[in-house]
Amino acid sequence: MTKKKKKKQALPQTKKSRAQYTCPTELKEIIAKVRLVPTNVEMKDLFIVRDRLESEKRWKQSLFPNKNEPEVDLYKEALKECLQNLPDDFQTYIKSYEQKLKDIALNEFGRDDDIEYALMGVYSGFYTRWNSVKTFAERMKRERNGEVVSWESQSFYISAEISRDNNGTEYLTGFAGLIGKFKSDRLRICESCSRIFWAKRIDSKTCSAKCLNVFSVSNSRRPVEKKLKKLQTEFASENTKLENLKSRLSPENKLIAEQEERMKKLNEKIKNMEAAKNGTL
């Protein structure tokens, strides 16, 4: 009679240990918003753009002191510049916010100017939060890769939103208030779409199955691209040799024919490699 092997019982998972791997609700809301703009997109600081426009205006006035130019609201111009070339998802987000403000304009705002300034506040708040989360995720990635990362206030900035409770005690809210409460290594940048995401698995590098597929395909093609680049460099070197031979020897010389044959074979290899890379072989 054989003894039945006892099944290994899994260690009980406490609520506390599960919480480390579950994205906090407050953080989930922040991630959902900052994902509207990938981290590889250049998002501009409204106030820095406004200061630059003001400097340009003063410079023009110093060059042409007698030229009368119409007055321009630099904050509005800065907002227009900041919104250029941003993803459609973010443009839709701003437009929907603008529509909400217009719907309550009769009660809350007196002029369209007020709506414009309110949109500036929406953009500036989004930028500050997006930049904080992006910087944090980038530093965590560098730390995972073995780099020594400085977390001093001089080199790392996180926006701190401060609120007060009923007793008047101040406390951090938003992203700054969440940093100490979650397993920070799970906040990552997708290797495919460059958007912020919460990694449910410790080895996750992408935010979705679609991005994982794109990332896997691009990774499988990297060795081919490396070999192709090497062959192209070799072909360029052999071509230089051929030009030198032609300049020194007569066209009937065997060395020139041998070099041309060598280059012909290299060119054939490059064509096959390009076909393999494009999946047409």
The token pair at 30 is 């922040």
pLDDT digits (tens, 9 = 90+) for 172-213: 556 666 666 666 778 899 999 999 998 888 888 899 999 999
| Cα separation values, 258 from 231, 245, 261, 267, Å | 18, 11, 5, 14
145: Cα separation from own chain's centroid: 18
33: Cα separation from own chain's centroid: 14
User: CA Rg, the chain, in Å?
Assistant: 29
29 or 2, greater pLDDT: 29
pLDDT digits (tens, 9 = 90+) for 127-136: 888 888 888 8
Helices marked H in 145-208 — which ranges? 174-178
| Cα separation values, 264 from 11, 21, 257, Å | 65, 57, 10
Q: Which of 211, 138, 140, 153 is nearest to 182 (CA)?
A: 140
**Cβ atoms of 189 and 141 closer than 8 Å:** yes
Burial class (CB in 10 A: 0-12, 13-18, 19+), 132: buried
Residue spans of beta strands (DSSP E) within 152-231: 161-164, 170-173, 187-189, 196-198
Q: Which of 256, 254, 260 is nearest to 246 (CA)?
A: 256
CA distance 80 to 59: 21
- To which residue do tokens 């949109």 refer? 119
- To which residue do tokens 């900052």 refer? 34
Per-domain residue ranges for the chain?
A: 20-43+86-204, 215-278
Q: Which of 194, 211, 209, 219 is nearest to 141 (CA)?
A: 194
pLDDT digits (tens, 9 = 90+) for 143-177: 887 777 665 544 455 555 555 666 655 445 566 66
pLDDT digits (tens, 9 = 90+) for 82-109: 998 899 889 888 888 887 777 765 555 4
Quick one: pLDDT at residue 195? 92
How high does pLDDT run on average in the chain? 77
**Cβ atoms of 270 and 278 closer than 8 Å:** no
pLDDT digits (tens, 9 = 90+) for 205-241: 899 999 999 888 877 666 777 778 888 888 888 888 8
